[in-house]
Structure 1
C-alpha cells in the first residue's frame, strides 16, 4: 500500500504552493473530477524510502455550516484516506479561531497530525512556532513553501513517520489466480453489475483474498476453464458515510487498483456519453502503462440515432486514445461479455509479445525511409537500430544520433508504426531514445593532452631558406 499524506487547512495558508513544491512540478498526477473532486488534487511525493501520494484539499473554514456539503465531504474523505494529516497554518497570520476549529475536526478522525507553520520566511523557527504550541500538537515544523525553506526537514519527517508505521505499507500481494483485471469507472456505470454477471456465469463465490489492499477486492474467476482475477473497485462507495443522494468517488482507490492490475477495463455509461471523467480514467491507465479496453455499457438502452451520436462523440474525444479498443456491451443482460473476455485474452497475448531486435530494427528502418524527421539547425536526426526494453510495460529502445531533437509528432509517428506492425492495439508503448557516443566529443581534450610538446614545437626556430 502507498503511504498517503493529506494537506489540510483554512484558505490562503499556502497549501497549493506547498503541494507544488513537494511534488516538484505543476504537472504532477492530478485528479480534476468535475463536481466530485474539484477540491482535491493528487500528486506523487518522492521520499528517501517510499513513493507516497500527496493530497491537496480545498480551504477548510472550521465552521461546518460555512462549507458546502460537497467541499466538506471531499476534505473529510481526504483525511479519511490519509495515513498522515499535515495541518497547515500561517506563521505570518498567527493562530486564528478557524485553526482551532479545524484541528478539532481533524482530531475527531484520530489520524496522526503534523502541524506545519507555513510562510515562516525571515523568522526563527521557534518564534514562528511559539504561538501554535498551545494547540497541543506533538509534532510541529516551520516551513516556507514559497521560498523552499524547511522542505528537506519536512520530507525527512514524513519518511521517518512512514518507517515508524512500516506495517501499514507492506507491499500489496494478490494470490496468483490468472491475469489481474481491474474494472474501473465512475459510480453507477455498471462495474458491480459486470463483476456479478461474470462471477454468476460460473457460480464462483466472491471473497476477499488475503493480501489485497484495504479498498480493492480481488475476486477469483473461472471463465472457459481459464483462471482470472477481477480487481473490483465498486467498493469505493461508502454509503454509510455519505449524505443521501451523494456518492463518494476515490481516485486513490482507483490508482491502487490500476497499479495491481495487468489489464484495465474502463467502463463508461452509454446513456450519459463519454465524459471528461472517463477520459481521466483512461489517462490514469495509460499513465501507468497498462493495457486497456474502453467498455461502453448500457448500449442496449439506446436507439440507433442515439448510438450514432454517442459513437460520434467518442470518436471526437478519443483522438488521443485512438489506439484503445472499444467494446459495446450490456452488463445487465449479459450481452457482449464473451467478446469482452476474448478481447482480454487477445490483449494479454499482444502485451506478452517478445519482439526481437531484428524485427524492431526492420520496422524502424522502413518507417525512417518512408518519413524522415525534420532538420534541426541544418542537421538531421539519424535512427540506427531498435530493441526491446521489456514487457509490462512494453518498451522499445531506439538508438541513433541527435534523437533528443526528434519532435513529439515524429515520436508519435514511430509509436503508431510499431503498433500497426505488431498489432499492439490497446497496449501502451513506452518509447526510449538513446544517442550513440560521439567519437569526436573528446577530441578537443585529446589535443590539449600535451601542451608542453606543442609549446616547444612553436618555439623551434624557423628553417632558413637559401635565396
Structure 2
C-alpha cells in the first residue's frame, strides 16, 4: 500500500512468509501483514506456510481475503472462506485484477463466499485501493495512541527505524539463514524448510536484548546472477542487496560443510562494497571433524582476506550451540560503526602518526576531522598528494587509536594550500 512491499506475480505460492509494514491513511496508522497462501492439505512446506497464515489471522483485527476476479470462485476459495467464517474475525473480501470499469465483475459469485460484498480493485495499478483503505478505517477499531504513532523515514532507506540497529542475515540458498534468524528471534517467524529458496522476501523482526532493541532481517538466498533467471528470484535478489545496503551490519552465513565457495566470496565483496561491517558465521560447525575445521580456518584467511579482521563465529543454528556469542559481537561492531570522534582527538592521533612516520616527499596532513559515521568517514586536508601506502598507514593509526575494530573506515583527502 503506497509501495510494493510483497512480491506480486501470477504464480501460486510466491509469498511464503509473513511480511509486515506500518501504513498511514487519513491520519490513522495500522500494520498490514502479507501472508503466504493457505494450503493446509499440501506439502510439508505448504503446511508450514499455512501455520504462518493462521497465526497472522489470529493476531489480526481485520482480514483481507484476496480473490482473483478473472477466474471466479475456486474450490480453494470456498475452503478458505469456510475457515474464515469460523475464525470469528472481521473479513473484507477484495476481488483483485478488476483493472477497468468495463471489465466484467460477477459480484454475485463472490457473495456466495458468505463474507459480504466484495471490493473490486486492481492491486497492480492501485485502482480503488483508496476505497479498501477507507473501509479498513471503518472496520478496524481505533485504539488509544493511534494518532500519536510516529511515521519514520530515515536517510539510509525506507525500512530503517531510528535508534534500532539493523542486522541483515545474508548468504547462499539453504545455508541456514532462516534457522539462525528464528534462533535469534526466539520463535518460528520465518518458514524453515530444506528446499533452497524458501525465503523470497526480506523479513524483519525487532528483538529486545540486554543492550536494547535490535532488528534482524532474514533475506532471500543470493544466487549467482547467471542463475537468477526467474523474475520472482530476481526481485528477491534485489531486495537482499537492498537489505545489505540499509543495514548497520551484515551476517554472512556460510555452510561450513561446503567450505568457502566462490559465491560466498562474491557476497562478502558485495557487503564490503556497501560499507557495512560484516560478521562471518560458519554454520553447521558441529558436522565437521578436526581436519575439516583446520582446513576451513585456512580457507577463511586465504579466500576472505578482503574483509580484514572481521569476526568469524563458529556455530550450529539448528542446535543453538555457539549462537550466544553473536549478540555481544554484534553490539561491539554496531557501536564502532556509529562511533563519533572529537576533532581534537583525530588531529592528536594523526599528529602522532606523522611524527612516528613522516610522509615521503614532504607530504603532510594539515588538519583532519570525522565527517560522517555509518561507516566512520575521515577527511584529511593535505598540502600535497599522499601515496596510497601512507594513507593506509594513517587509516590503520585511526583504527587502532580509536578501537574501530573490523568496521570499514573511509578516508577522504582534500588538497589545501599551506
8 Å CA contact 1:186–1:277 kept in 2: the answer is: yes
Give the equivalent residue in structure 1 for 2:358: 372
Partners in 2 of 1:316 and 1:206 — Cα distance? 33
- Stretches of structure 2 lacking an aligned partner (at least 5 in a row): 5-128, 130-152, 192-199
Partners in 2 of 1:249 and 1:273 — Cα distance? 27
- Of 335, 339, 344, which aligns to 1:349? 335
Partners in 2 of 1:356 and 1:295 — Cα distance? 33
Once the two structures are superposed, the pairs formed by residues 66-85 of structure 1 within 5 Å of their partners are none
8 Å CA contact 1:221–1:229 kept in 2: the answer is: yes
Give the equivalent residue in structure 1 for 2:367: 385
- Of 277, 286, 295, which aligns to 1:300? 286
- Classify the secondary structure of the residue corresponding to 1:345: helix
Once the two structures are superposed, the pairs formed by residues 1-400 of structure 1 within 5 Å of their partners are 172-175=158-161, 178-200=164-186, 203=187, 215-224=201-210, 226-234=212-220, 251-375=237-361, 380-400=362-382
* TM-score, normalised with respect to structure 1: 0.49
Partners in 1 of 2:364 and 2:228 — Cα distance? 58
- Classify the secondary structure of the residue corresponding to 1:196: helix
- 1:436 and 2:410 are equivalent in the alignment: no
- Could you give the per-residue CA deviations for residues 374-424 of structure 1, whole angstroms, max 9, x where no partner exists? 33xxxx311122111121121111112113xx2222222222221122121
- 1:413 and 2:393 are equivalent in the alignment: yes
8 Å CA contact 2:201–2:220 kept in 1: the answer is: no
Count of paired positions: 255
Structure 1 residue 292, shift from structure 2 partner: 1.6
8 Å CA contact 2:177–2:253 kept in 1: the answer is: yes
Partners in 2 of 1:394 and 1:278 — Cα distance? 25
Partners in 1 of 2:190 and 2:307 — Cα distance? 33
Give the equivalent residue in structure 2 for 1:55: none
Give the equivalent residue in structure 2 for 1:427: 407
- Classify the secondary structure of the residue corresponding to 2:257: coil
Give the equivalent residue in structure 2 for 1:91: none
Partners in 2 of 1:177 and 1:360 — Cα distance? 25
- Stretches of structure 1 lacking an aligned partner (at least 5 in a row): 4-166, 208-213, 439-467
Partners in 2 of 1:314 and 1:2 — Cα distance? 40
Partners in 2 of 1:179 and 1:316 — Cα distance? 30
Partners in 1 of 2:211 and 2:397 — Cα distance? 36
- Could you give the per-residue CA deviations for residues 147-170 of structure 1, whole angstroms, max 9, x where no partner exists? xxxxxxxxxxxxxxxxxxxx9xx9
Structure 1 residue 250, shift from structure 2 partner: 5.4
Structure 1 residue 176, shift from structure 2 partner: 5.4
Choose 1 or 2 for highest CA Rg: 1
Partners in 1 of 2:389 and 2:236 — Cα distance? 34
Partners in 2 of 1:355 and 1:242 — Cα distance? 42
- Classify the secondary structure of the residue corresponding to 1:271: helix
Partners in 2 of 1:437 and 1:313 — Cα distance? 47
Structure 1 residue 225, shift from structure 2 partner: 7.4
CA-atom RMSD in angstroms: 3.4
8 Å CA contact 1:236–1:248 kept in 2: the answer is: no
8 Å CA contact 2:220–2:237 kept in 1: the answer is: no
Partners in 2 of 1:2 and 1:416 — Cα distance? 42
- Could you give the per-residue CA deviations for residues 264-318 of structure 1, whole angstroms, max 9, x where no partner exists? 1111111111222222222222212112211111111111111111101111223
Partners in 2 of 1:267 and 1:326 — Cα distance? 10
Partners in 1 of 2:190 and 2:205 — Cα distance? 6
Give the equivalent residue in structure 1 for 2:17: none
